[in-house]
A and B are shown apart, each in its own frame.
Chain A
Amino acid sequence: MREFNVLVVDDEDEFRDVIAKSLEKRGLCVEGAENGLKALEILEHSRTDVVLLDIKMPGIDGIETLRRIRSLKPLVEVILLTGHASVDSGIEGMKLGAFDYLMKPIELDPLLEKLSDAYEKKRLQQEKIEAALMKKHMSMPI
Chain B
Amino acid sequence: MERKKKYYSAITKRLLIAFFCLSILPILIFAWIMKDTVEETNIIKLRELATSTIEHRTEVISIFLNDKISLLSMMVSFYPREFFLVQQNLDNLYLAMGSRGGGDIVDLQVIDAAGVQHGYVGPYRAIVKDKKYSEAPWFQETLISGVHVSDVFTGFRNVPHFVVAVTNSLKSFVLRATINSSSFNSLLHSAQLGPHSDAFIINRAGNFQTPSLLSRTELDENEKKLISFDNKSQAVITDTDIYKTRWIGNGQWLLVLKANLADSMDFYLTLRNRVFIIVGTIILLSLSAAVTISLALARNLERADKEHAANSMQFAHVEKMATIGRLAAGIAHEINNPLQMITSQAGWISELLPDEDPAAVKNLAEYKSSIEKIRHHVKRAGTITHRLLGFSKKMTAQQDRVHINELIAETLSFVEREAENNSIAIIKNFSPDLPATMTDGPQLQQVFLNLINNALDAVGPKGMVEISTSLSADGRLVVECADNGPGIKPENLEQIFDPFFTTKDPDKGTGLGLYISYDIVKKLSGIISVENRTGGGALFRVILPIKSYGKQE
Bound Cα distance A83, B336 (Å): 5
Is B351 within 8 A of A106, CB to CB? no
Interface pair B333/A18, CB less than 8 Å apart: no
Contact string, A88-126, partner B, CB cutoff 8 A, digits 1/0?
Answer: 000000000000000111111000000000000000000
Closest to B388 in A: A85
- A108 CB contacts on chain B under 8 angstroms: 344, 347, 351
Contact of A105 among B334, B339, B390 (CB under 8 A): B339
With A and B bound together, what is the CA distance between A84 and B390 in angstroms?
A: 10
Q: Is the CB of B44 closer than 8 A to any CB of chain A?
A: no
* CB closest chain-A residue, reference B381: A105
**In contact, A25 and B351 (Cβ under 8 angstroms):** yes
Q: How many residue-residue contacts, CB under 8 A, span A and B?
A: 69
How large, as a class, is the contact surface on chain A?
Answer: 20 to 34
Q: A104-B339, A105-B382 are in contact. Are A83 and B333 (CB under 8 A)?
A: yes
Find the B residue at minimum CB distance from A14.
Answer: B341
* B394 smallest CB distance to A (angstroms): 11
A107 near B375 with CB under 8 A, answer yes
Check if A47 is an interface residue, CB within 8 A of chain B: no
Instruction: Identify A104's interface contact among B329, B340, B348, B352, CB under 8 A.
Output: B340
Contact B336 A104 (CB under 8 A): yes
Which residue in chain B gives the minimum CB-CB distance to A11?
B337
Q: Which residue of A has the minimal Cβ distance to B382?
A: A105
A15 and B347 alpha carbons, distance in the complex (Å): 12
- A109's nearest neighbour on chain B, judged by CB, is B347
* A138 at the binding interface (Cβ < 8 Å): no
Q: Which residues of B contact A83 (CB under 8 A)?
A: 332-334, 336-337, 340
Contact of A73 with B by CB under 8 A:
no
Bound-state CA distance A83–B339 (Å) is 10
Kindly list chain B residues whose C-beta atoms are within 8 Å of the C-beta of A25: 351-352
Closest to A85 in B: B389
Q: Is A56 an interface residue (CB 8 A)?
A: yes
- Asked if A87 lies at the interface with its beta carbon under 8 angstroms from chain B, I say yes
Cβ distance A125 to chain B, nearest Cβ, rounded Å: 29
Q: Bound complex: CA of A104 vs CA of B385, how far in Å?
A: 10
- Nearest chain A CB to B323 CB, angstrom units: 17
Is A85's CB under 8 angstroms from B344's CB? no
A105 and B341 CA atoms in complex are apart in Å by 8
Q: A107 contacts B343, CB within 8 Å?
A: yes
B332 pairs with A106, CB closer than 8 A? no
Q: Which residues of B contact A14 (CB under 8 A)?
A: 341
B348 contacts which of A12, A18, A85, A106 (Cβ < 8 Å)? A18
Residue of A nearest to B330 (CB): A84
B292 within 8 A of A: no
B327 contacts the other chain (CB 8 A): no
What mask results when residues 40 to 59 of chain A are scored 1 for a CB within 8 Å of chain B, else 0?
Answer: 00000000000000001000
Question: Inside 8 A of A106's CB, which chain B residues have their CB?
Answer: 340, 343
Contact with B351, one of A22, A87, A103 (Cβ below 8 angstroms): A22
**CB of A128 within 8 A of chain B?**
no
User: B347: which A residues are within 8 A, CB to CB?
Assistant: 18, 22, 107-108
Q: Let me know if A67 is at the binding interface, CB within 8 A.
A: no
- For residue A38, CB closer than 8 A to chain B, the reply is no
CA distance A26 to B389 in the complex (A): 32
Residues of A within 8 A of B379 (CB): 105
Minimum CB distance partner of B389 in chain A = A85
Q: Which of B333-366 contact A (CB under 8 A)?
A: 333-334, 336-337, 339-345, 347-348, 351-352
In the complex, what residues of A have CB within 8 A of residue B382's CB? 104-105
B390 near A18 (CB under 8 angstroms)?
no
Asked if B393 is at the interface (CB within 8 A of a chain A CB), the reply is yes
Say how far A109's CB is from chain B's closest CB, in angstroms: 8
29 A-B pairs with C-beta separation under 8 A: A12-B337, A12-B341, A15-B344, A18-B345, A18-B348, A19-B344, A22-B347, A22-B348, A25-B351, A56-B333, A83-B332, A83-B340, A84-B329, A84-B389, A85-B386, A85-B389, A85-B393, A104-B337, A104-B339, A104-B340, A104-B382, A105-B340, A105-B342, A105-B343, A105-B381, A106-B343, A107-B347, A107-B375, A108-B347
The chain B residues found within 8 Å of chain A, CB to CB, are 329, 332-334, 336-337, 339-345, 347-348, 351-352, 375, 378-379, 381-382, 386, 389-390, 393
Counting from the closest, the 4 A-B pairs by CB-CB distance are: A85-B389, A83-B336, A105-B339, A104-B340
Residues of A whose CB lies within 8 Å of any CB of B are 12, 14-15, 18-19, 21-22, 25-26, 56, 83-87, 103-108
Given contacts A15-B340, A104-B337, A105-B382, 19 further A-B contacts (CB under 8 A): A12-B337, A15-B344, A18-B341, A18-B347, A19-B344, A22-B348, A25-B352, A26-B351, A83-B333, A84-B333, A85-B386, A85-B389, A85-B393, A104-B340, A105-B339, A105-B381, A106-B343, A108-B344, A108-B347
